C-alpha cells in the first residue's frame, strides 16, 4: 500500500538519524536490526534537528516533490513560520551541519523550543482546517456550517472577529448572515464599506488601519461597540466565477495580516464557496421536492374532484328519483370538502323546497340525517342567495348569527358557510350551501378558494340536471296533453263513422212505410250502437291500462260485409271508389273492433292521399297459416322523408287535422295479433300496405 511504503521510508530515515547521532556507520535501510531498534515513540529532538540540517539539495528529492504535490491547496497555504520568527525557522534550508555545530547548547535548545512552538501552531491550524473540511461534509445546513467555519477561521487567522456577507444577486445588497461575536444584522448597499467595495471590484484587500481608509463604513462599529483596526477582506466566487459572498476577518493578533494570511483565507474561501453552492443545490432540491409534494397533493385533490364530478355526472344520468339523487350528491360533496352539513334549495311555484343533509356524529364517523322541507316566508341563506344571484361566504364570528338550512331547530350552529347559486341560463333556480368545515388541526379559518371552485362546479352540474329534468317534465306534460287531445280527436273520428251510418239508416226508416224495411234498418242501427258500446268499453280498458284483446272467430266475408258498411259511409262523400277482392272467405280469429279500427285508419290515410278522388282496394288471401290483407290506393304516394319512421307516433305530413297516430295504432293492432305490416309506395302511383296475421293468433299480445 502507498501508506505502508511511506511509513517504511519514515522509519528508515529516523534510523539513519539515530545512527548519525551515535557516530555509527549507517546501515543499509530495511534491515531487520533497524526494524528491531525502531522506537514506538517520537524520535529525539536532536534527530529532528539533524533532519532539518540536511542540505537544501537533499530536500529537493523526487520523493519530497511527490509529497508536496499531494498537499492540498488549503494545507499549502498554512505559513511555515510567523513573520517575526527567527530567520532559520522561516527558511530551514539554511540550516546545515556546519552551522548547527557552531551553535551553542543554549542556542540549540532555543532553536528546538522555537521549532516546537511552530509545530504546535501548525498543528492547531491543521486541526482547524480539518474541522472545516469535516463540517463541509457533515451538514447541509448552511447556517450551521458557516458558524463553525467562521469560528475556526477566527481562531486560525488569530483574529478577533470574522464576518461573512451573502450577496443578493437581484439587488446587489450584502447581508451579514453570520457575524461571529455579534447578533447585529448588517446590511450594506452595493459598493458600501470595504466589503461592498470588494464585492463590486472583485479584489482582495488587506488594510492595516481601517479608519484611515475612506471606504470603511464605521456605522457598524458604532452600532456594535466594536473597534476595527486591521482588516482582511476577500471575495468568494462560485464555479462560474461570479462573486456570491465576501468574507472578512478583523483585528489580527499580530497587529496586521500577512501575505500568508491572505493565502490561507483564500484557501478557506474556496471551501466556503463549495459549501455555499452545495447548500444552495441542497436547498434547491429540498424546495423542488416540497413543490413536487405540493403539486402531488394538488393533483390528488384534483383527481378527487374529477372523480367526484364524474360520479355526480354518472349518478345524475342514472337516478330517476330527485330526492335520492340530491342525498347522494350532497353526501359526496361533504366528504370531499370535509363539511358538516349541506343543503340544496330549489325554487318551486310559490315556495322553496330545501333538501338538507347533516352529519350528526360527534367523532366524524359520519352519521347522516337527510330530510326535505317546503319553506315559504322563512329567511334562509339559500333564499337570500337565490334572490341576489351572488355567492355568499362567511368565516367570521358573524356566522353564528346566521340561520341554518331551515329556520327549524336543526341542531346546527353555523360556524362557517359557503353558498353558491344555481342558474338555468340567466334565471336563478336554486342554491347549494355547505356549512361548518371540519378543521381537525385548525389549519385555516374556513373554506378555501379550491372549495369555492369545486362547490361552484358541483352546483353547476346540479343546476344543469335540475333544469334538464324540469324542461323534460314540461315537455312530457305538453306531450301528454297533446296525446290526450290527439287521442280524443281519433276517438271522435272513430265514433263519427258509426254515427254517420246510424244517421243514414234513421233517415231511411223515416222515408219508408214498409215494416219489413224498417225492421231491417232498425237491426243495422242496433248493430252500429253495439259497435259504439264495444268501442267505449275498449276505450275504458285502455284508460285502465288493460291492453288485452277480445279474440273471436268470424268468417272473413261476414267481417268484410260489416266493414264495407263503415267504409261506404267514410269514402262515399270523398269521391273514392271502394273495391273488395276476397280470395279467402274462411274463418279467422281476430279482435273485430280493433281490426275494423285498423282498416278505417288505413282507409282514411288513403282518402287523404287522394284529395281529387280515386280507388281504394282491399284484397284478402291466405298462404299457409296466415291471412294476407292488402290495402291499395291510387294516391300520391308516401313522401320519402317520412318512410323510415312512418309507423312512429305523431308522424304526419301535409294534413291539417292529422294526429300522426293512425299508422302507429295500425302497427300496434297488427303486432298484438302476432302479425307484420309492410308497404310499397311510388310517387304519383299510390301505396300498398300488406298485413300478415296468423289464422289463430296467440291469446296474449306478443
Cα distance between residue 228 and residue 242, in whole Å: 28
* Range of the structural domain that residue 569 is part of: 547-694
Does 163 or 43 have the greater pLDDT score?
163
pLDDT value of residue 129? 65
Higher pLDDT, 320 or 501: 501
Final residue belonging to a domain, choices 538, 557, 585: 538
- The pLDDT tens digits of the residues spanning 391-421 come to 888 876 667 667 766 655 466 777 888 889 9
Beta strands in 208-350 (DSSP E): 231-237, 243-252, 339-347
> Stretch 336-349: mean pLDDT, rounded?
85
With respect to residue 312, please indicate whether it lies within any of the assigned structural domains: no
Q: Give the integer Cα–Cα distance in Å for 581 and 57.
A: 144
Closest CA to 235 of 264, 208, 201: 201
- Domain end call among 487, 519, 538: 538
Q: Of the ranges 167-181, 212-226, 478-492, 653-667, which one carries the lowest mean pLDDT score? A: 653-667
Q: What is the pLDDT, as a whole number, of residue 649?
A: 58
Residues 153, 272, single domain; the answer is yes
Looking at the fold, whether 565 and 676 belong to one and the same domain comes out as yes
pLDDT at 143 over 80: no
Q: For all residues of the chain together, what is the average pLDDT? A: 76
Q: Is residue 55 part of a domain?
A: no
Position 446 confidence tier, pLDDT thresholds 50, 70, 90: low
Mean pLDDT is highest, among 57-71, 294-308, 544-558, 589-603, for: 589-603
Residue 78 pLDDT level (bands cut at 50, 70, 90)? very low
Mean of pLDDT values over 457-466? 83
Alpha-carbon distance 29 to 11, whole Å? Answer: 9
Instruction: Tell me if 303 is assigned to some domain.
Output: no
Domain tally for the chain? 4
Is the per-residue pLDDT at 632 higher than 90? yes
Predicted local distance difference test score (pLDDT) of residue 49: 39
Secondary structure in 3-state letters for 147-214: HHHHHHHHHHCCEEEEEEEEECCCCCCEEEEEECCCCCCEEECCCCHHHHHHHHHCCCEEECCHHHCC
User: Is 422 domain-assigned?
Assistant: yes
Query: Is the pLDDT score of 306 beyond 80?
Result: no
In a domain, 120, yes or no: no
With a pLDDT cut of 70, the percent of the chain lying above it is 71
> What average pLDDT does range 458-478 have in this prediction?
82
Q: Is residue 400 part of a domain?
A: yes
d(Cα 418, Cα 339) in Å, to the nearest integer? 10
| pLDDT band (50, 70, 90) for residue 640 | confident
Name which of 64-73, 158-167, 587-596 the model is least confident about: 64-73
- Residue 526: the pLDDT is 80
Query: What is the pLDDT at residue 590?
Result: 92
Residue 399 shares a structural domain with residue 531: yes
Residues 564, 492, single domain; the answer is no
As a whole number of angstroms, the distance between CA 303 and CA 297 comes to 10
Residue 519 domain-assigned (yes or no): yes
d(CA 644, CA 46): 123
- Residue 108 has a pLDDT of 76
3-state secondary structure of 463: helix
Distance CA(597)–CA(538), nearest Å, equals 11
Q: What is the pLDDT of residue 361?
A: 85
Rounded average pLDDT over 375-381: 76
**Does one domain contain both 468 and 380?**
yes
- What distance in Å separates the CA atoms of residue 153 and residue 149, rounded to the nearest whole number? 6
Average pLDDT estimate for 610-632: 93
* One-character DSSP codes across 7-36: HHHHHHHHHHHHHHHHTPPPPPTT-HHHHH
Best CA proximity match to 431, nearest among 406, 397, 410: 406
φ/ψ of 249, rounded to 5, equals -120, 145
* 486 confidence band (pLDDT: 50, 70, 90): low
Of 6-20, 202-216, 358-372, 510-524, the range with the highest mean pLDDT is 202-216
Cα 404 → chain centroid: 31
pLDDT, average across residues 13-36: 39
Mean pLDDT throughout 338-353?
A: 86
8 A C-beta contact, residue 159 and residue 250: yes
pLDDT at 336: 77
Cβ-proximal residues to 235 (8 Å cutoff; 6+ apart), any chain: 198, 199, 202, 203, 204, 243, 245, 246, 269
Q: Are residues 418 and 277 in the same domain?
A: no
Provide mean pLDDT across the span 364-392.
Answer: 84
**Same structural domain, 340 and 447:** yes
User: Is 594 or 530 the better-scoring residue by pLDDT?
Assistant: 594
- Res. 615: pLDDT tops 80: yes
What is the DSSP annotation of 205-246? EEES-GGGSTT--THHHHHH------EEEEEEE-TTS-EEEE
Q: How confident is the model at residue 663 (pLDDT cuts 50, 70, 90)?
A: confident
- In this structure, the answer to whether residues 332 and 478 fall within a common structural domain is yes
Question: Strand 576-582 relative to strand 614-623: parallel, antiparallel, unpaired?
Answer: parallel
Angstrom CA distances, 408 to 144, 369, 370, stand at: 62, 15, 14
Please state which of the ranges 14-18, 271-275, 566-570 shows the lowest mean pLDDT.
Answer: 14-18
Closest C-alpha among 12, 32, 158, 132 to residue 72: 132
Q: Is the pLDDT of residue 645 over 50?
A: yes
Least confident residue range of 75-84, 170-179, 240-249, 563-572: 75-84
Q: Please tell me the distance from the alpha carbon of residue 41 to that of residue 23, in angstroms, as a whole number.
A: 22
- The whole-number pLDDT of residue 619 equals 95
| pLDDT above 50: residue 209 | yes
Residue in this structure with the C-alpha cell 273520428, named with its chain if needed: 493
Q: What is the CATH number of the domain that holds 250?
A: 3.30.450.40
Q: Which of 241, 269, 286 is the last residue of a domain?
A: 286
The three cell numbers of residue 236 are 468568494
Quick one: 529 and 425 in the same domain?
yes
Percentage of residues of the chain with pLDDT beyond 90 = 19
Average pLDDT of span 372-399: 81
Cα separation of 535 and 599, whole Å? 15
Residues 124, 126: Cα–Cα separation, whole Å: 5
pLDDT on residue 493:
64
In a domain, 512, yes or no: yes
Question: What pLDDT does 397 receive?
Answer: 64
CA distance 141 to 283: 9
Over residues 37-52, the pLDDT tens digits come to: 333 444 443 443 344 3
682 and 565 together in one domain: yes
Return d(Cα 329, Cα 309) in angstroms, integer: 10
More confident residue, 270 or 689: 689
Report which listed range, 158-167, 525-534, 649-658, is most confident.
158-167
The yes-or-no verdict on residue 621 having pLDDT over 90 is yes
Instruction: Look at residue 315 in the predicted model and tell me its pLDDT.
Output: 66
pLDDT of residue 230: 93
DSSP 38: -
- What is the per-residue pLDDT for 558? 92
Q: What is the pLDDT of residue 453?
A: 81
One domain, residues 551 and 532:
no
Is the pLDDT at 550 greater than 60? The verdict is yes
- Give the CA radius of gyration of the chain: 56
**Domain with 667 in it: what CATH number?**
3.30.565.10
pLDDT given for residue 138 in this prediction: 62
Is 60 exceeded by the pLDDT of residue 383?
yes
Give the pLDDT confidence score for residue 131 in this predicted structure. 64
C-alpha to C-alpha distances, 607 to 488, 612, 632, 635, nearest whole angstrom:
21, 9, 11, 8
- Output 663 or 545, whichever has higher pLDDT: 663
**Band of residue 445 on the pLDDT scale cut at 50, 70, 90:** low
Three-state secondary structure call for residue 129:
helix
Q: CA torsion 524→586→695→571, rounded to 10°?
A: -40
605 & 684 share domain: yes
Amino acid at each position: 500500500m502507498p501508506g505502508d511504503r511511506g511509513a517504511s521510508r519514515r522509519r528508515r530515515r529516523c534510523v539513519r538519524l539515530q545512527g548519525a547521532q551515535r557516530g555509527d556507520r549507517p546501515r543499509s535501510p530495511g534491515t531487520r536490526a533497524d526494524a528491531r531498534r525502531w522506537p514506538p515513540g517520537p524520535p529525539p529532538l536532536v534527530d529532528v534537528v539533524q533532519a532539518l540540517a540536511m542540505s537544501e539539495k537533499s530536500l529537493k528529492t523526487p520523493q519530497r516533490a511527490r509529497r508536496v504535490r499531494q498537499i492540498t491547496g488549503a494545507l499549502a497555504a498554512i505559513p511555515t513560520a510567523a513573520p517575526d520568527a527567527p530567520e532559520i525557522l522561516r527558511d530551514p534550508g539554511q540550516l546545515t551541519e556546519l552551522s548547527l555545530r557552531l551553535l551553542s547548547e543554549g542556542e540549540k535548545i532555543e532553536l528546538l523550543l522555537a521549532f516546537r512552538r511552530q509545530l504546535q501552531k501548525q498543528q492547531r491550524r491543521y486541526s482547524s482546517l480539518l474541522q472545516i473540511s469535516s463540517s463541509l461534509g457533515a451538514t447541509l445546513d448552511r447556517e450551521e456550517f458557516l458558524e463553525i467555519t467562521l469560528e475556526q477561521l477566527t481562531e486560525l487567522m488569530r483574529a478577533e472577529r470574522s464576518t461573512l456577507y451573502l450577496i443578493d444577486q437581484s439587488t446587489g445588497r450584502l447581508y451579514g448572515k453570520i457575524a461571529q461575536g455579534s447578533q447585529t444584522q448588517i446590511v450594506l448597499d452595493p459598493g458600501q464599506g470595504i466589503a461592498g467595495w470588494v464585492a463590486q471590484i472583485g479584489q482582495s484587500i488587506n488594510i492595516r488601519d481601517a479608519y484611515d481608509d475612506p471606504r470603511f463604513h464605521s456605522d457598524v462599529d458604532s452600532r456594535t461597540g466594536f473597534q476595527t483596526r486591521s482588516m482582511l477582506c476577500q471575495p468568494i466566487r462560485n464555479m462560474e466565477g461570479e462573486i456570491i459572498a465576501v468574507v472578512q476577518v478583523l483585528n489580527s493578533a499580530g497587529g496586521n495580516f500577512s501575505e500568508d494570511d491572505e493565502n490561507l483565507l483564500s484557501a478557506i474561501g474556496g471551501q466556503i464557496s463549495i459549501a455555499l453552492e452545495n447548500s444552495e443545490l441542497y436547498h434547491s432540491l429540498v424546495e423542488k421536492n416540497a413543490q413536487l409534494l405540493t403539486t402531488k397533493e394538488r393533483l390528488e385533490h384534483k383527481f378527487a374532484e374529477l372523480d367526484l364530478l364524474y360520479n355526480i355526472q354518472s349518478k345524475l344520468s342514472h337516478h330517476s328519483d330527485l330526492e335520492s339523487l340530491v342525498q347522494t350528491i350532497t353526501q359526496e360533496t361533504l366528504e370531499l370538502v370535509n363539511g358538516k352539513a349541506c343543503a340544496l334549495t330549489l325554487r318551486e311555484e310559490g315556495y322553496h323546497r330545501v333538501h338538507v343533509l347533516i352529519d350528526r356524529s360527534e367523532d366524524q364517523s359520519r352519521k347522516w340525517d337527510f330530510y326535505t322541507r317546503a319553506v315559504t316566508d322563512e329567511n334562509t341563506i339559500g333564499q337570500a342567495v337565490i334572490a341576489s344571484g351572488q355567492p355568499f361566504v362567511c368565516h367570521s364570528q358573524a356566522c353564528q348569527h346566521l340561520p341554518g338550512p331551515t329556520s327549524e331547530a336543526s341542531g346546527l350552529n353555523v360556524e362557517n358557510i359557503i353558498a353558491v347559486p344555481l342558474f338555468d341560463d340567466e334565471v336563478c333556480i336554486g342554491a347549494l350551501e355547505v356549512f361548518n368545515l371540519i378543521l381537525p388541526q385548525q389549519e385555516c379559518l374556513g373554506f378555501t378558494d379550491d372549495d369555492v371552485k369545486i362547490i361552484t362546479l358541483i352546483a353547476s352540474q346540479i343546476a344543469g340536471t335540475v333544469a334538464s329534468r324540469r324542461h323534460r317534465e314540461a315537455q312530457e306534460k305538453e306531450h301528454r296533453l297533446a296525446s290526450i287531445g290527439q287521442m280524443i280527436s281519433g276517438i271522435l273520428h272513430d265514433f263519427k263513422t258509426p254515427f254517420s251510418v246510424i244517421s243514414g239508416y234513421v233517415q231511411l226508416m223515416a222515408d219508408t212505410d214498409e215494416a219489413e224495411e224498417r225492421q231491417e234498418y232498425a237491426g243495422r242501427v242496433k248493430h252500429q250502437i253495439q259497435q259504439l258500446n264495444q268501442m267505449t268499453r275498449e276505450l275504458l280498458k285502455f284508460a285502465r291500462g288493460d291492453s288485452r284483446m277480445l279474440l273471436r272467430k268470424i268468417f272473413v266475408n261476414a267481417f268484410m260485409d260489416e266493414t264495407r258498411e263503415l267504409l261506404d259511409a267514410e269514402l262515399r262523400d270523398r269521391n273514392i271508389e271502394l273495391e273488395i277482392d276476397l280470395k279467402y272467405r274462411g274463418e279467422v280469429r281476430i279482435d273485430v273492433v280493433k281490426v275494423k279500427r285498423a282498416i278505417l285508419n288505413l282507409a282514411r290515410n288513403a282518402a287523404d292521399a287522394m284529395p281529387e278522388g280515386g280507388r281504394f282496394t282491399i284484397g284478402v288471401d291466405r298462404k299457409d297459416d296466415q291471412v294476407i290483407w292488402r290495402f291499395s290506393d291510387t294516391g300520391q304516394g308516401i313522401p320519402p322523408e317520412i318512410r323510415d319512421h312512418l309507423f312512429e307516433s305523431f308522424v304526419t305530413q301535409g294534413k291539417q287535422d292529422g294526429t300522426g297516430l293512425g299508422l302507429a295504432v295500425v302497427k300496434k293492432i297488427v303486432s298484438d295479433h302476432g302479425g307484420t305490416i309492410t308497404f310499397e309506395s311510388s310517387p304519383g302511383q299510390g301505396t300498398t300496405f300488406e298485413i300478415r296475421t296468423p289464422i289463430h293468433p296467440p291469446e296474449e299480445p306478443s
